[in-house]
Amino acid sequence: MEDFSVFDIIGPRMTGPSSSHTAGAVRIAYIARRLIGTEVSRVHFTLYGSFAETGKGHGTDKALIGGILGFTPDDERICHAYEFAKEQGVQVDFTYSDEPADHPNTVKIEATDVNDRMTEVVGRSVGGGNILITEINELGVELSGEYPTLIVRHMDEPGVIAEVSHVLAQLNVNIAFMRVFRHGRGRDAYMCIETDTPVTKEMQTIIRQLCKGITELFAV
Amino acid sequence: MQLVDAFESGTKLCEYCTQESCTIAEAMIRREVSRGEMMRDAILKEMQENLNVMRESVRIGLEEHVETVSHLSGGEAMRLFRYAKYDPFSGGNTCRAAASAMAVCEVNSSMGRIVAAPTAGASGILPGVLIECGIERGWTDEQLVQGLFTAGAVGLLFAQNATISGADGGCQAETGVASAMAAAAIVELSGGTPEQSLDAAAMTIKNIMGLVCDPVAGLVECPCIKRNALGAANALLCADMVLCGITSLIPFDEVVSAMLQVGRDIRKEYRETAKGGLAATPTGKAVAEKVKRFQKYAGEY
């Protein structure tokens, strides 16, 4: 039986009209923004399934723009997201795709940040404002965004995972969930580590310094 | 009866409340404390913040010009609220509560800020009923926050033992559960027993059991906004029935199970897919076509 909080029933506070098509869309793009870690200069959204069919009437477009600007689902600026994007010089455009997707409410976000670095994130809105990030830079992941999450890109070799979890333990960060993904044996791999408490910027620096096999690290 | 088991069913919840001589709201607060994520004060404060957002969404919908993203609706809440002065058939209080419920829904559809209760599509009923009755009866914010916990407990029982999603159980699971929550809240705030609160919740569901989710063009507007008005009226009527001493022949827990079974039997076309019911009428389809054309138009419209 699921352990509901009273605030799952009376809440969340959100910008309407739809928890899946609006609040969920904000969260996907917001997590993408956190992953990128800096301001975005250009972003292209590709909407699939029901997002593509009825997204506009639910303000899914504004929700995604809002999220990529760093707004959370209860931010009242979301309905003016186009104006805010323009003001901040963020170029946005959309493709409403007819192609089938694995899940009806799916979006692909291709963002270029102010350092000209490109990040691609695929996410789906799974209902009630809950989401799942399924791809980061073409690598399959599973990330709900419900807990503070550390995403570590590393070489697929023995000891890296043990090193990272050891450092987290020393920093007194408890791991709630952890999953490991890789492109292929001995190649690029990712760890998705969901923690009970956030991993601060200082902690991230320490992990980068102490853990050798790491190539990239994001915190959401 | 231990607190951990009290939320397994309505019967157990009533048993716990009797044993502890406490309200459903108090049991709900204790359970939230026991989850260990927030202290009691923070929990009460968080709920007060929900009440503030609810009240503000009612105010905006009744006082400001609200236009929905699709341009299909807007301004109707204000119209009904003004009309409530002129001796409406449904009575001033009911009419104003219904208008307030619609107000929140219009704000929701215009991308304004609301509190899902239990969902965004049914977000008008609980604030509509609570805020209006609060004004009418002079309830304080402290009392209204208690009401929100009562409502939360009822919603939680449905979420756990049935469903609160239109895609799973049809509209009965969204506006139906919202009415049940609102009815239970005002019964408890009026001094009703936990059993009476759950009886009122049971009655509201019995009244609309089987209600399908058939949103025109897949949007949370038609018929959702007016069904929130009905949901408010349903809650008020059931609360009155219970408070005058009428009981529900079928107990709350059995109504919850029946609602789940009926929800499962509702064909997929009638569960939020916008493929049946009002969505499949000639007018419904024409509106959907119009909305789809908007979709192709790049940028804002």
Under 8 Å between Cβ of B112 and B60: yes
Place of tokens 């304004």: B112
CATH of the domain at A42: 3.30.1330.90
Whether A127 and A194 map to the same domain: the answer is no
Whether A108 and A155 map to the same domain: the answer is no
Which run of H or E residues covers position A143?
strand A139-143
The residue in chain B having the minimum alpha-carbon distance to the alpha carbon of residue A91 is B299
**How many Å lie between the alpha carbon of A212 and the closest alpha carbon of chain B?**
35
How many separate domains does chain A show? 2
> Has residue A183 got a pLDDT over 80?
no
Which domain covers residue A209, as residue numbers? 149-219
Residue B297 banded pLDDT, cuts 50, 70, 90? low
Task: Write down the pLDDT at residue A104.
Answer: 80
Residues 6+ apart with CB under 8 A from A156: A182, A183, A184, A185, A186, A187, A188, A189
Residue A19 banded pLDDT, cuts 50, 70, 90? confident
Whether A154 and A139 map to the same domain: the answer is no
Residue A53 touches chain B, beta carbons under 8 Å = yes
Whether A13 and A68 map to the same domain: the answer is yes
Whether A136 and A48 map to the same domain: the answer is yes
* Closest by Cβ to B117, choosing from A10, A17, A56: A10
Of B8, B68, B224, the C-alpha closest to A2 is B8
CA–CA separation, B104 vs A58, rounded Å? Answer: 16
Whether A69 and A118 map to the same domain: the answer is yes
CA–CA separation, B49 vs B53, rounded Å? Answer: 6
Whether A18 and A122 map to the same domain: the answer is yes
CA–CA separation, B17 vs B40, rounded Å? Answer: 18
Whether A169 and A61 map to the same domain: the answer is no
Percentage of chain B exceeding pLDDT 70: 98
Domain edge (last residue) among A112, A143, A174: A143
Each domain of chain B, given as residue ranges in start order, spans 3-292
A10 and B47 within 8 Å at the Cβ level: the answer is: yes
Under 8 Å between Cβ of A33 and A68: yes
Could you tell me if residue A119 is inside a domain? yes
For the stretch B207-234, pLDDT in tens is: 999 999 999 998 999 999 999 999 999 9
The residue in chain A having the minimum alpha-carbon distance to the alpha carbon of residue B301 is A56
Residue A56 touches chain B, beta carbons under 8 Å = yes
For the stretch B234-269, pLDDT in tens is: 999 999 999 999 999 999 999 999 999 999 999 989
Could you tell me if residue A207 is inside a domain? yes
Q: What number is the ipTM of this complex?
A: 0.95
Whether A29 and A138 map to the same domain: the answer is yes
> Has residue B300 got a pLDDT over 70?
no
Spell out a b/e string for A52-74, using b for 16 or more CB atoms within 10 Å of the CB, else e.
bbbbbbbbbbbbbbbbbbebbbb
Whether A139 and A153 map to the same domain: the answer is no
Could you tell me if residue A123 is inside a domain? yes
* Closest by Cβ to B109, choosing from A13, A17, A23: A17
- DSSP tag of A22: I
Residues 6+ apart with CB under 8 A from B24: B13, B17, B149, B150, B153, B154, B184, B188, B194, B197, B198
CATH of the domain at A189: 3.30.70.260
CA–CA separation, A165 vs B118, rounded Å? Answer: 38
Count chain A–chain B contacts defined by CB atoms under 8 A: 150
Chain B residues lying within 8 Å of A3, measured CB to CB = 35
Whether A111 and A169 map to the same domain: the answer is no
Whether A123 and A91 map to the same domain: the answer is yes
For the stretch B34-50, pLDDT in tens is: 998 899 999 999 999 99
**Alpha helix ranges (H) inside chain A:** 6-9, 24-36, 49-54, 60-68, 81-87, 160-170, 201-210
Task: Write down the pLDDT at residue B301.
Answer: 44
Domain edge (last residue) among A143, A162, A189: A143
**How many Å lie between the alpha carbon of A69 and the closest alpha carbon of chain B?**
17
Residue A128 touches chain B, beta carbons under 8 Å = yes
Could you tell me if residue A30 is inside a domain? yes
Q: Which residue has the higher pLDDT, A154 or B124?
A: B124
B110 and A74 within 8 Å at the Cβ level: the answer is: no
